[in-house]
Every structure is written in C-alpha cells, then in structure tokens.
Amino acid sequence: MNVYDAVTTRRAVRGFTDQPIPQPALERVLSAAAWSPSGSNLQPWHTYVVTGAPLAELKKRVGERLAAEDSWDEPQYEMYPPELKSPYRERRSAFGTQRYGALGISREDVEARQRAAADNWACFGAPAALFCYIDRDMGRPQWSDVGMYLQTVMLLLRAEGLHSCTQMAWAKFHKTVAQVLSPPSELILFCGMSIGFEDPTIIHPRTGRAPLDETVSFVSG
C-alpha cells in the first residue's frame, strides 16, 4: 500500500471483528512509528498496547462505572475550546449529525446518544487498544509531536490491513485506565486508540473534508 492509499483509506472505524491481531504486526508498526518526527528528537510519547485479559478487565471496570452513572474523571487537559467559533463549530455539528444520523438517532434522543457513545469504552469490539500518554511537563509543541506519532501509527496500521479509531473519550476515565496500566504519575493520558480488523457488516458513512481553498493558501511568485 502506498502512502496516498494509506492516507485516503484511513478513517475512524467504529466496528471491528474479534479476529486477533498478530503480535509481529503490532511490533512492526510501533517499531517503524518510532521514526516519527519530534522537536529535538524528544520523542514525547509513551505508549501502552493492551490486549486479552487486561483489555477485558479495563472494559469491565469502565462498564461498571457507566452502569453506576459514575461521573467522569476531572480533565487533565482541555479537549475543545469552551466556545468553538466558525467554521469549527459547524464542522463539529455536521460530524455529530452525520454520526448519529447514520445510527438513526435524533439530536433530541439524549439516552440513545449516550448508549452509542458508550461503545467507545468497549473499543467498538476491537481486540486491541493503544493508550498514548505524554509527560505533564511537556508543552504545546510536544503535544503536536504526539499527534504526528499517532498519525504515523494509524497509517502503518493500514499497511498491515488494520484499521483504527483514536478516542479522546478514554481520557474521561483516565483513573480507571491507570488502575490497569499503572503508568508513572508524571504522565497524562491523551487518548486511546481501538485497533483491529474492520467489521464489514457495520456501515458508517465517511465524514467529508473541507475544500482545499478553505484550508490551504498557495503563495507563489
């Protein structure tokens, strides 16, 4: 698979089979992803890959918190600005309309939306999950480095015939994740990522992208 194919076929898949992922494939992906760029080669990412019994235990613990209507953990970072301005507000709204509309869930059906959101913490059925941490002392440039690393991981997963879905939703239960993974206290959980083989019986429309002239300016002589 060439780079263009990897980029254009990568998408947030929210339905996976339970087919196990060969360990060598994950090792190839993460070994190659280590070459992702980072300022002064800090490599500020800290990655945990979870499968099998530990992942089942994590899903169970979060499921119990959801059933008990336990409140989310206090945020360790701000996911979105409190007031999204245009055009970001409209893009986010369009995503929500498309995502829940494909599931037949109306904007007013809050309970159904919550049930759909709960699938995040079941990894959408994926047999593997990646959890990416960053040292709390790192600054904005290092957070961008982590983003480049995660993008590299996702593209390499496509080369292995795998799909993924990055999920900041896991940060809402960072304490429960820490109970299973026991990360050092100086680390912040940025996101999780579900990894697996796509379930072709679950169809979700792909989100669109802004036209090139809306996001890119060519400055030439």
pLDDT of residue 97: 77
Is-above-0.85 flag for pTM? yes
DSSP state of 68: T
pLDDT in tens, 106-150: 677 667 667 777 888 999 999 999 999 999 999 999 999 999 999
Q: Of 202, 208, 174, whose CA–CA distance to 188 is shortest?
A: 174
- Give the Cα separation of 169 and 192 in Å (integer): 8
Amino acid at 119: D
